[in-house]
Amino acid sequence: MRPKVLHIVISLNHGGLERQVVLLAGTRDRQNAGSTFIACLDERGILADHLPPDVVKCVEARRNRFPWDVAAVRNIRRIIKKEGIDIVHSHNLAAQQYGALAAWGIASHVNTQHGPNPHNDGWRDRFKTRLLKSRTDWFSGVSEDTRMVMIKRGIPQDRVSVIPNCVDVATFAPRSADSGVKHEFGMPQDALVVGTIARFTPEKNLLMLIEAFSKIVEKYPSVFLLIVGDGPDRSVIEKSVYDKGLDRRCMIVGFQTDVIPFLGVMDIFCLSSASEGISVALLEAGAMGIPAVVTDVGGNAEVVRSGINGLTVKSNDRDGFANALDRFCRDKSLRKEMGTQAREMVMERYSLDRVLVAYEGIYDRVRKEGF
C-alpha cells in the first residue's frame, strides 16, 4: 500500500511551485484515493479548486510569529494523526519549518526546495535551517544548481538529491490551431508570437525581456510579445511597455488558470529570470514543442541546451537576448528543429510519470528508515 502523504505549502495561489504541487498531489490522489493531502499555511488559494475539497486543508498560520506559530504546528499534527499520514512533504523553507516540527516523532519528513531562493540567506532563515535540518529525513532540489545551494547552506550532501519539476506531456502537447487567443487580444493571424509566463516579480526580470524585445520590434512588423502572468511589479512592467511605445505590440493578459491556449500561439518562449529553479512554464512550453530563449541561471541551462533545444544568454544581457530572439524570428526551420528537440528533452527527463516514480522511491526509503 502506498504511504499517505501530506504536502505543506504556503498557499495554492498561482505560481510554478503551487501548480507543481497540485499536479503531483492531484495525480497521486486519483491513482489512490485518500492517499494524498495538502496543508496550506496561509490560505487555500485559487488552485485548490482543481482538487477535491477534502484533499486541501488550511491551518491559517500566523507566520509573523518568531520563531514559529505553535498553534499552527499543533493543527498540522492533528491532521497527520487524523488522516494517518506517513510522510510529510514540505515545499521551500517556510513550509519546511512547520513540516519538520509537525512531523516530529509521528511521521517522516521530506523537503523539496524549488529554487535557490536567495531571500532565505538572512540570519533568521540560516538559524532555522541549521536547527531543523536534523528533523528532515530527506531533501531534494529541483535542479543541480538548487542542490548545490542547499549544500552550501549546510544540508548534508548525502541527504539531498535532485528531483526536477515535471509536466504532463499528454496534456501539454504540440498544437497546430489557434483557439482564438490572437483574435481576442488584437493580434493578426499571421503574427509571430514571442511569449512568456511568469510572476511579475524582480527575480523574473521581465523588464529585461521588454528591453530586448524593443530592439527587434521594428525589424519584424509581424512580431508580438505575449506576457501571461501577474504580480506586484505589474504597474512597473506596464509603464515600461508604454514608455517604449510597445502598447500595440505587447499584450499583458494577466494570470490564466489554463495556459495551454496561450502557449499554443507562441512561436518562441522566453525566460529572462535573474534567479530560477526549474521553471514549470519552461517545461510546459518545451512539451508543446516551443523553442526557448532563456538566461543561463539556475536550472534554465539544465533544461535548455543552447543550440540544441533552445538558446541561452547571460543573465541581464539585453543585447544577447535580443540577438537570440532575432535568430529565431528570421529562421522558421530553426524554430521547428529546436522545438522538436525541446519536446523530446521534456519527455525524456521531465515527464510526470518519471517524477512521480522518483518521489515514491524517496517516500519508500524514508519510511523504511523510520522517524
Angle at 297 between CA 311 and CA 151, to 5 degrees: 140
Work out the average pLDDT over 49-74: 91
Per the CB < 8 A criterion, the answer to whether 196 and 269 are in contact is yes
pLDDT band, very low/low/confident/very high, at 122 (cuts 50, 70, 90): low
Residues listed for the chain? 371
pLDDT tens column, 201-210 = 999 999 999 9
pTM of the model: 0.93
pLDDT band, very low/low/confident/very high, at 184 (cuts 50, 70, 90): very high
pLDDT tens column, 323-346 = 999 999 999 999 999 999 999 999
Q: Between residues 66 and 193, which one has the greater pLDDT?
A: 193
- The beta-carbon contacts of 317-321 under 8 Å, at least 24 apart in sequence, are 318/208, 318/211, 318/212, 318/215, 319/212, 319/215, 321/208, 321/209, 321/212, 321/270, 321/272, 321/293, 321/295
Q: Between residues 4 and 178, which one has the greater pLDDT?
A: 4
Q: What is the mean pLDDT of the chain?
A: 93
What's the alpha-carbon Rg for the chain, to the nearest Å? Answer: 21
pLDDT at 300: 95
pLDDT at 178: 74
For residue 118, pLDDT over 70 is answered with no
pLDDT at 288: 97
Work out the average pLDDT over 354-359: 98
Q: Residue 195 forms beta bridges with which residues?
A: 226, 269
pLDDT at 121: 53
For residue 270, pLDDT over 80 is answered with yes
Domains in the chain and their CATH numbers?
5-166+351-369 (3.40.50.2000), 181-349 (3.40.50.2000)
pLDDT tens column, 144-171 = 999 999 998 888 999 999 999 999 999 9
Q: Residue 227 forms beta bridges with which residues?
A: 196, 252
pLDDT at 66: 75
pLDDT tens column, 64-84 = 887 789 999 999 999 999 999
pLDDT tens column, 271-316 = 999 999 999 999 999 999 999 999 999 999 999 999 999 999 999 9
Work out the average pLDDT over 83-88: 98
For residue 134, pLDDT over 90 is answered with no
β-pair type (87-91, 5-11): parallel
Calpha distance 267→223 (Å, rounded): 10
pLDDT band, very low/low/confident/very high, at 175 (cuts 50, 70, 90): confident
DSSP 294-326: EESSTTHHHH--BTTTEEEE-TT-HHHHHHHHH
pLDDT at 297: 94
For residue 129, pLDDT over 80 is answered with no
pLDDT at 214: 97
For residue 100, pLDDT over 60 is answered with yes
